[in-house]
Amino acid sequence: MSSKTKIVVLHMKEIIYTVLFVVLGILLILLLVFMFSPKDQKTSSTPSKYQPGVYTSTVTLNNTEFEIEVSVDSSHINSIRCSNLDDTVATMYPLFQPTVEQIAEQVIKSQSVENIAYSEENTYTSQVIMDAIEDALSKAESKKQ
């Protein structure tokens, strides 16, 4: 029983190519695993505050009803506007529409109904508008639960 010793000659170039292809293969497998693994939806960066939609609150001025519409998505107030505003109300209360726009701009900018500033000339009107906005936002929050 004679054993013959075999000598294997490896070139450094072949070793480098083999290691390189093995590393690239492992990286490709890891990439595919991360791409196609299911994403966990519970790790959202912004918490859901509202149920998305358009919510309204009715306001009555001079026996005429109109609505304040608040549009929200899951975490932001997107727009606030006045709908069904009759021409007679717009004529009798000319500062009403600009007040709605001014308050809407502040609420959308701050994303809150806290610390909203309004002029002393139209305090009552501003308070009626703020109450309507708060009512619509409470509807959006209660729908979520």
Domains of the chain: 53-144 (3.90.1010)
Exposed e or buried b for every residue in 130-143, given b needs 16+ CB within 10 A? Answer: bebbebbbebbeee
Is the pLDDT assigned to residue 46 strictly greater than 80?
Answer: no
Q: What is the pLDDT of residues 63-113, one digit of tens each?
A: 778 889 999 988 888 999 988 777 777 788 788 888 888 889 999 898 888
User: What pLDDT is recorded for position 69?
Assistant: 92
Closest CA to 59 of 50, 69, 73: 69
- Beta pairing, strands 53-61 & 64-72: antiparallel
Q: Which residues neighbour 81 within 8 Å (Cβ) at sequence distance 6 or greater?
A: 68, 69, 100, 104
The model's confidence at residue 29, banded by pLDDT at 50, 70 and 90, is very high
Q: What is the overall mean pLDDT for the chain?
A: 84
Strands 64-72 and 77-83: antiparallel
